[in-house]
Amino acid sequence: MNVPTEHLLILSAILFAIGMGGFLLRRNMIVVLMSIELMLNAANLAFLAGARQHSAQAGHWVAEGPVMVTFVIAVAAVEAAVGLALVIAFYRRKQTVSLDRLSPTGATSKAN
């Protein structure tokens, strides 16, 4: 593949922006978590684009990018597990996964 690094980085930027939009605009907690996964994927893509650029310039494989991507994937798995456990705990209390029902104090809100 002889695609320039810029195109990989542009793809990464677009995916990150889409994830950010979903994170800001969606109310469903599960979809918000999915948007975070999208942003992490975009960051991974940028890491790999950088690793590829460095490897091609240096003439040998630069391993830091792939290593970092592996750690990001591990952290993404952790984040999905903890986030979904929190969603389930929240659903037990409020019978909904809408972020509108999340009150800052954690108290059962009287408004709804």
Partner 1 sequence: MVDLLFYVAAGVSVLCALGVVVSANPVQSVMMLLGSFVGIALIYLLAGFQFLAAIQILVYGGAIMVLFLFVVMLLNQGDPVVLAREQGVLRKEQLAVGLAVAGSALAVLLVAVVRTDLPRPIFGYLWPEGGLDPLLGMAQAMFGPYVLAFEGASVLLLATAVGVMTLAKRQRSTPVAAANEEVSA
User: Could you say whether residue 102 binds partner 1 (CB under 8 A)?
Assistant: no
Buried b (16+ CB within 10 A) or exposed e, 51-87: bbbeeeeeeeebeebbebbeebeeebeeeeeebeeeb
| Smallest distance, partner 1 to C-beta of residue 61, A | 4
Spell out the residues 6+ positions from residue 55 whose beta carbon is closer than 8 angstroms to its own: 61, 62
User: Could you say whether residue 109 binds partner 1 (CB under 8 A)?
Assistant: no
d(CA 50, CA 48): 5
User: Could you say whether residue 112 binds partner 1 (CB under 8 A)?
Assistant: no
Q: Contacts with partner 1 in 28-87 (CB under 8 A)?
A: 28, 30-31, 33-35, 37-38, 41, 44-45, 48-49, 51-53, 56-57, 59-64, 66-67, 69-71, 73-78, 80-82, 84-87
Cβ proximity to partner 1: between 90 and 104 the closer is 90
User: Could you say whether residue 88 binds partner 1 (CB under 8 A)?
Assistant: yes
